[in-house]
Structure formats: structure tokens, C-alpha cells
A and B are shown apart, each in its own frame.
Chain A
């Protein structure tokens, strides 16, 4: 099975060590071999489950509600300047 673990790790934004890449690559392969048994199931014409208990999409009224204050929303930030989350310069 052809798995590019470096590409998957990059997509997942995970900085994995060389050792982790090796171990996870092998485990991913063995799990996917088990998963491959699904290809034997005839699903021709079978709808995919989108929702286990189908419901209409509920809509709320378009009106103002109570929400977190600015301070509460920033309280758990690793770094903030009191009004925004702070990240390294991007431009």
C-alpha cells in the first residue's frame, strides 16, 4: 500500500519525529489492510449515512443574543494583546 506519511503529517499539521513517522506509517498500513475488507461489501445504490437520526436543519431567528465578552473569549489565549489573539508575523 502506497502511503506518503510525510504528506499526511503535513496535511494534519503535525510535526512528527522520524521515529513517529516510521511507527505511525506501519500502523496506518496495518489498520488500512483491515479497513480494506469494506471493499468486499456491495454498496451499489446504497445511500451514504449523512446523519444517524435525520432531522431538518433548524434555523433560529436572526436576532442578537448573549455571547461571550471580549475578555472572556481571550482569557485562555496563549498570547493576546488585550484585543486580539497574537500570532507570528505572516506578511
Chain B
């Protein structure tokens, strides 16, 4: 693969250099990207739809502006895939649900506006678990996504398409969303880099709401520098999102080269407990040793409430989801049943027909947790335990600058292996959920392959607003493990 010409599998820095020097046009790169998806996606299923026409028009515009000598944004001409949770003006957006089939947003999400302002070319919509509810990408109304490292295995979820498209070399950058691990876990399973920023760092305006106190948009890419650069573009205050942090956009690209000498890396022993695959443990521990060899100091830390995180999350996230998803009523912009008798049957049947099994399960659980007589015992209790989980992190960060741990207890599992028991699937999220509950910036960086040739990711978690530390530590992992731009088949770009 080393001999491949520049294309969608290439790092952003190389594409940008070629675009700037004129050896590559945005139009031809976009065309090649679309053709490559067309030719390769049957085996992967990462895309729900591509938007070739508007993408090519945007690329032609970038080329024209460049030829006129106008100043262009940092991602001018670079194709980007967008998770289907994120509204794209004029391009169908479904959250992988039958409920939203045919929905064409009349506006762009703020993150999409920012992509366009940076000159990036939104090229299509990526497959995911329906309404981002799932850890395997087996809950999409548009079919499963397959892991490019082994197509009999899941890519992880819910941003499975966003991770698989990078791993398959279909596109250099994608947007995912992360509520309880939905960027980090698929990034880990597919051997790519993914970041979930601090809650509020990136606007949620125009993003289909799942659990509003947890949802964040973040970047995925084949190397740390590209993911960091995309996060810069996405970040910054947005008056259209009342939870948006009033801070200037991040400056992260300089962090990639900075040494980590003296950085205190916390190792939470609770993340290396029962259920962790021994191969995953040894690969992650060896990558942590790689941080020490670069001058970091390892510090043992305790996060004693970790074992309560899954229960806490599945109360809070489903409660918020049951409320958020009440908007899908069959009246304004959603699926409507043909079997209408009265207004109530219109609601109940439209929702029963439009939602898939996992979405119904979570609406039922959330409705129960919020229902009269149970609110205190479930929702309020969970929000109190959430405070304790957040305090665990605050205490840990008194003695360290960043935490290093596995992302998931195992590597990618087989398609269909875990669909029978929802609780067992939920328990897979044990290592990613705590940082989500605390709103912390975190990410997954590939650090090796297990004996079956499947990628293992290292999770890094930083204090709130410390994305710079997150990127610096991630780049150090990447330097040690040599996984940048690595793809299935052993080649890199």
C-alpha cells in the first residue's frame, strides 16, 4: 500500500501539500474518494449515503477559489465523512432510524458549518447504531457495519461507520458522536484515533439528541495530528447551544510534537480488573511503559466508584433519551403510520413502527426510571452517584495530569455474538462510561494488535478543558507504538 498515489487513505498533511502545490485538485480527490467508497463499501457498510453532487460542487468551488488566490481554510478540499446523527442541509439525515427516513434538514449542524468554513468537503453520511444506541453497530436500520480488520467482526458502536471508514481508507477524516464511548470504542476496535472533547467544547446544535448531558461530537482519523486538527476546527463557543463553553477554538497542532517529559500519567487499577482480556491488558501496559520511557512518571490512582458507572449511565442516558425521543411523534418531520384512528393511535403506532428494538428498550427503561414514584430511586440516585464518579476523577487529577487505561475489555467481537442479552452488551461499556459521566476530554489511540491481528486501543482521559494534554499524551502513545496511518493488510499510507 506504500506505493498508492495520494488519495482518501492519505494523511491530511500530505493531501494539503499536494492540493496547495497544485499537483492534486479538490475535484479529483473528491471524485476519487466517491469512486473508492462505491468500490469498497459493499464489504464494509460504513456509509448510509454519499452526497456526490453537492460534494463535487463544493470541491470545484475550492479549486476555483484557490486558482483566484483567495485565502482558504485549513481543511480546504479535504473530504470528511459525517455520522448520520449530524444534520446536513439538503442531505437526508436519519440517525440510522426508519423514524427519520426521508428527513432532509433545512439547516446545517454547527459542526458542519465549521467544516464548510474550513474548506472541508462533507462527502456523505456514515452508518451508526440507531439514534447512537449500541456498542456494535448492529442496531442500524440500514444494515450492520463490518470491521475492516476482520469482516466477520463488529466495528464497535455507535460510531461504527465513522471508525470503519477511516480503517478502510475510504476517507481521511470523520465526525462521530460519543455519549458513553461511541467514538472511543469503535476507534479502538478499528485501530484508528478518536477523541471525545470536554462536554460543551463542541457545539451540539443540529446534532440529533440522545442523552443531552452526555452527547459530544468528536473527530476520528488515522493519526493523532489529523484528529487534533479536526478537533481544532470543530471547537469553540456557539451561541446556538446553551451548554457550549464560552472559550476560543482550541490550538492543538503544536501539542503533537511536544515531549511528555515530567508528565504524570495516572494508572487506575480499577480499569485493569476482572473481565479484561489478558492480551489487551499486556498490550496496553506495554504502551504505558512506552510513555514512561519517554520521560513520563507513572502514578497509581484509585477510581473507587468505577463499578457503579454502567448502572448510573443506563439510568441517566435512557431517562434523557426517553424525554428527547418524545419529539418523534409522527406529526412534524417523522415517519407516520398508515393505521391512524385518532391522535393517540397516530403517536403510538408511528413510534412503534419507526423505532427499532434497542431504541424501544431504552425508551421503556428511561420512561420507567422517570415515572411517578421511581424518579428519586433511579434518576436522582444515579445523578448523585454521578457526582461521586466525577469526584473520583477530581481526586485522581490532584496527583496526575492524564489517565491511561484500556478502552474496552476485549478486541472486536464477532457479529451476532452479543445481541441476545442487552445487559451483557451494556457491560462492555464499563471503561468508557465513567469519563462520559464526568464530562471529561478523552480518546482512543491504537497501540497494537492482538494475536488474532485485531487492534487494541489505549484510552487517555484528561481533566476538563485539558484537550492539549490529551493530544500531547496521545501523540506520545502513537510515537511509541508506530501505529499512525496503519491499515488492515499490514500496510500504511
Contact surface of A with B, Cβ cutoff 8 Å: 3, 5, 7-9, 11-16, 20, 24, 27-28, 30-32, 34-35, 37-39, 41, 43, 46-53, 55, 57-58, 60, 68, 72-73, 75-79, 85, 87-88, 90
Contacts and interface: CB of A to CB of B under 8 A. Distances in A.
Given A27-B422, A34-B310, A37-B308, 13 more contacts: A11-B367, A13-B351, A14-B360, A15-B349, A28-B361, A35-B311, A43-B384, A46-B387, A49-B386, A50-B383, A58-B242, A76-B332, A78-B335
B213 interface: yes
19 contacts: A3-B368, A8-B367, A8-B371, A11-B371, A12-B322, A27-B422, A34-B314, A35-B314, A38-B315, A38-B382, A41-B381, A47-B384, A48-B380, A48-B386, A49-B383, A49-B437, A58-B242, A68-B107, A85-B331
A75 B106 contact: yes
A77 B332 contact: yes
B interface, over-half SS: helix
A75 B383 CA distance: 39
Contacts of A11: 367, 371
Contact of B384 (A5, A46, A77): A46
B330 A78 contact: yes
B315 A35 contact: yes
B142 interface: no
Contacts of B439: 52-53
A56 B335 CA distance: 37
Contacts of B464: 53
A53 B198 contact: yes
B331 A77 contact: yes
Nearest to B391: A46
Contact of B103 (A53, A57, A76): A76
A13 B352 CA distance: 8
Top 4 nearest A-B pairs (CB, nearest first) are: A52-B439, A78-B336, A76-B333, A48-B383
A34 B311 CA distance: 7
Given A8-B368, A15-B352, A76-B333, A52 B390 contact: yes
Interface residues of B, number: 73
B106 A68 contact: yes
A88 B334 CA distance: 16
B330 A38 contact: no
B347 A13 contact: yes
Given A41-B385, A58-B242, A75-B104, A31 B365 contact: yes
B340 interface: yes
A38 B381 contact: yes
Contacts of B385: 38, 41, 43
B113 interface: no
A55 B239 CA distance: 13
A87 B346 contact: yes
A38 B334 CA distance: 37
A15 B345 contact: yes
Contact of B364 (A8, A38, A57, A85): A8
**Which of A34, A47, A57 has the most chain B CB within a 10 Å cutoff?**
A34
Nearest to B390: A49
Contacts of A43: 381, 384-385, 387-388
A88 B486 CA distance: 56
A11 to B, nearest CB: 5
Contacts of A7: 371
Interface in B212-253: 213-214, 239, 242-243, 245-246
A45 B200 CA distance: 27
Interface string B307-342: 110111011000000100010011111111000111
Contacts of B326: 13
B352 A41 contact: no
B125 to A, nearest CB: 16
B1 interface: no
A7 to B, nearest CB: 8
B364 A9 contact: yes
Contact of A16 (B104, B332, B340, B360): B360
Interface in B51-84: none
A16 B102 contact: no
Given A12-B322, A14-B351, A49-B383, A55 B243 contact: yes
A60 B241 CA distance: 11
A90 B331 CA distance: 14
